[in-house]
């Protein structure tokens, strides 16, 4: 593996949920110990399963892995880190501020910004500790690197505590950032370590899928802008050609993956690249990890006894129920790479086939709705919200209104905060809010809607919803947030894959939404091998492994579930999207 050649002390593995970061990181750790190195494996993933992979309980202290000489592991619990971080900020003012202000501050510190910064706070010491316990290790491997979003937050230079105390702040990241001043030098040292190619290597992990490769290309650009340029690419789970010998589905999937690799985005072509073949079982246990980087040596016979029939959960059943409402807002949400765009486009096309006026839009900067639809329909309008344009307009508006009343220092601080990545989230929500009004008389289908974190920011800071309530008093009013919280008006659909990490991440999204008083209406399990009923032994074994995850969604998270099969060809174009839902046959 190229990414392990002359490996520096720190290796960071980053990528979207479900691409196999943990497996790659664990296998890399075992490989390095085989060279006689002492290795510390650190997970900052909220869905960490490092302990499960090694069959041992790992907590927030350095724990030796008995079966692998020279290997130790550590799991940073993001929830515990965030709670401790909140207490450091809220504790000193508890009893000094009114209860409603304390609740507002605590709620503002409940979003993903706080969790990211708190996790970074935990492993900053690992990056800078050369004399303590970490100093004994030749390599420190991080499963889940800090995102460009986190690092941009840490690079903001303002004195946030003073700004908050003066009562001048009402912007997006002030809560999470208000605790940073005392450790800013330490953070600067950590960020410098990340940017030093002699000390740090970033490994971008993806699957051989067009959307997943586009996601890491975006990550590559984002990290390069902030100085993290020493990057490698690992494409995990590549289907071997032999899997398609007797299965047309497997043969088509292999061809599709090879085409995606051939069409690798330009930013990634210049980077060192490794491919890891798909194995027939989940990568759990030392034997599986030790052989992960080896080529497949053959596949055991598949379990022919396990039924894979999931025909009772078609996407068409959800669309029938949606269509009965005649209008409304439909939001397809989920982590990157799960197929939100496909699901949103299929729903929009199906509703348009039934004669309903439909507006399909996206807030995803990498969204390609026009390419996905690849055609036109009389009752379907397709648009996109440009995050860069929305952010520019939002900044100009805030500076012209709130900024007009500030002194020079306050205005400088406001300008700094408006350069934070959270500003884009709020700006996109405000642009999206203007679209919400259309859903009173037509269907509006949104691909990649604002996260629960964004909604919490808007409500906790009192920026829009509470300001309207204050100005209108007892008069009736409806804000965009209220429409999102109305289950009769808004249907939130969480899209996931039938794999452990994507389901855990979707669960986290569900919790964020519920904190914003938004209850998901349905879940869609996308690209399911079990629903596709493959005959290839390798794919059939992986299909069987999906069943417990699908049952988990059905029994623990959703009253309504649809399972969409993995298709031989990507569903691009109106006819393919109609075939996905059977909508043409159902149309009047």
- 363 classed as catalytic: no
Q: Buried b / exposed e across 116-136, counting CB within 10 Å, b at 16+? A: bbbbbbbbbebbeeeeeebee
CB 40 within 8 A of CB 140: yes
Strands (E), 300-385: 328-333, 358-362, 380-382
Residue 22 annotated to the active site:
yes
- Of the residues 501, 507, 536, 583, which is catalytic? 501
Residues in the chain: 588
Report the C-alpha gap between 103 and 94 in whole angstroms: 10
Which is catalytic among the residues 45, 280, 364, 447?
45
Concerning whether 401 is annotated as a catalytic residue, the answer is no
Catalytic one among 14, 15, 21, 583?
21
Quickly count: other Cβ atoms within 10 Å of residue 10's Cβ.
Answer: 20
Judge whether 159 counts as a catalytic residue: no
Tokens encoding 268: 């990634």
Among residues 15, 17, 18, 508, the one annotated as catalytic is 18
Cα separation of 57 and 49, whole Å? Answer: 10
Q: Per the residue annotation, which of 14, 16, 23, 119 is the catalytic one?
A: 23
User: Contact 114/82 with Cβ under 8 angstroms?
Assistant: yes
Question: Quick check: is 45 catalytic?
Answer: yes
Structure token pair of residue 519? 């209850």
18 catalytic, yes or no?
yes
Active-site residue among 15, 17, 22, 341?
Answer: 22
Instruction: Check if 224 is active-site.
Output: no
CA dihedral 576, 581, 584, 586 (to 10 degrees): 170
List the catalytic residue out of 15, 17, 20, 339: 20
DSSP 446-493: EESPPPHHHHHHHHHTTSSHHHHHHHHTTS----HHHHHH-TTTEEEE
Q: How many C-beta atoms lie closer than 10 Å to residue 376's C-beta?
A: 10
**Residues labelled catalytic:** 18, 20-23, 45, 501
């Amino acid at each position: 593996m190229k990414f392990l050649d002359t490996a520096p002390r720190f290796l960071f593995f980053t990528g979207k949920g479900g691409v196999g970061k943990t497996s790659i990181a664990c296998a890399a750790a075992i490989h390095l110990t085989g060279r006689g190195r002492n290795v510390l494996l650190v997970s900052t993933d909220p869905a960490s399963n490092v302990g499960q992979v090694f069959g041992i309980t790992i907590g927030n202290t350095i724990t030796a892995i008995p079966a692998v000489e020279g290997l130790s592991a550590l799991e940073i619990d993001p929830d515990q880190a965030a709670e401790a971080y909140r207490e450091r900020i809220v504790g000193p003012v508890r009893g000094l501020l009114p209860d409603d202000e304390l609740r507002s501050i605590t709620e503002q510190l409940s979003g993903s910004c706080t969790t990211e910064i708190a996790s970074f706070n935990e492993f900053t010491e690992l990056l800078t500790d050369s004399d303590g316990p970490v100093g004994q290790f030749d390599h420190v491997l991080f499963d889940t690197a800090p995102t460009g979003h986190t690092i941009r937050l840490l690079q903001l230079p303002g004195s946030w505590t003073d700004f908050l105390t003066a009562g001048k702040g009402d912007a997006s990241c002030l809560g999470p950032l208000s605790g940073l001043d005392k450790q800013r030098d330490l953070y600067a040292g950590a960020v410098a370590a990340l940017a030093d190619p002699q000390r740090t290597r970033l490994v971008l992990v993806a699957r051989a899928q067009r959307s997943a490769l586009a996601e890491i290309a975006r990550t590559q650009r984002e990290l390069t802008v902030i100085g993290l340029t020493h990057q490698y690419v690992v494409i995990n789970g590549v289907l071997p050609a032999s899997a398609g010998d007797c299965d047309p589905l497997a043969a088509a999937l292999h061809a599709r993956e090879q085409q995606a690799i051939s069409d690798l985005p330009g930013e990634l072509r210049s980077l060192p690249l490794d491919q890891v073949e798909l194995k027939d079982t989940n990568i759990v246990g030392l034997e599986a990890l030790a052989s992960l980087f080896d080529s497949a040596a053959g596949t055991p016979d598949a379990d022919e006894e396990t039924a894979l029939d999931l025909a009772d959960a078609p996407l068409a059943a959800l669309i029938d129920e949606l269509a009965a409402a005649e209008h409304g807002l439909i939001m397809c949400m989920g982590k990157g790479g799960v197929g939100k765009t496909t699901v949103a486009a299929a729903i929009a096309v199906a509703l348009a086939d039934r004669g309903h006026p439909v507006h399909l839009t996206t807030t995803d900067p990498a969204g390609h709705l026009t390419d996905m639809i690849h055609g036109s329909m009389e009752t379907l309008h397709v648009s996109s919200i440009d995050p860069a344009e929305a952010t520019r307009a939002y900044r100009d508006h805030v500076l012209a209104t709130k900024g007009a009343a500030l002194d020079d220092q306050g205005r400088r601080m406001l300008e700094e905060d408006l350069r934070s990545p959270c500003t884009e989230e709020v700006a996109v929500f405000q642009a999206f809010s203007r679209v919400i009004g259309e859903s009173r008389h037509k269907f509006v289908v949104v691909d990649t809607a604002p996260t629960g974190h964004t909604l919490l920011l808007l409500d906790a800071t009192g920026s829009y919803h509470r300001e309207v309530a204050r100005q209108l008093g007892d008069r009736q009013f409806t804000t965009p947030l209220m429409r999102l919280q109305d289950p009769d008006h808004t249907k939130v659909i969480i899209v996931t894959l039938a794999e452990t990490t994507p389901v855990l991440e979707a669960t986290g999204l569900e919790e964020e939404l519920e904190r914003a008083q938004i209850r998901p209406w349905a879940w869609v399990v996308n690209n399911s091998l079990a629903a596709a009923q493959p005959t290839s032994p390798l794919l059939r074994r992986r299909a069987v492994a999906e069943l417990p995850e699908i049952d988990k969604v059905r029994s623990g998270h959703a009253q309504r579930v649809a399972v969409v099969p993995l298709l031989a060809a990507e569903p691009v174009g109106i006819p393919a999207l109609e075939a996905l839902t059977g909508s043409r046959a159902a149309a009047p």
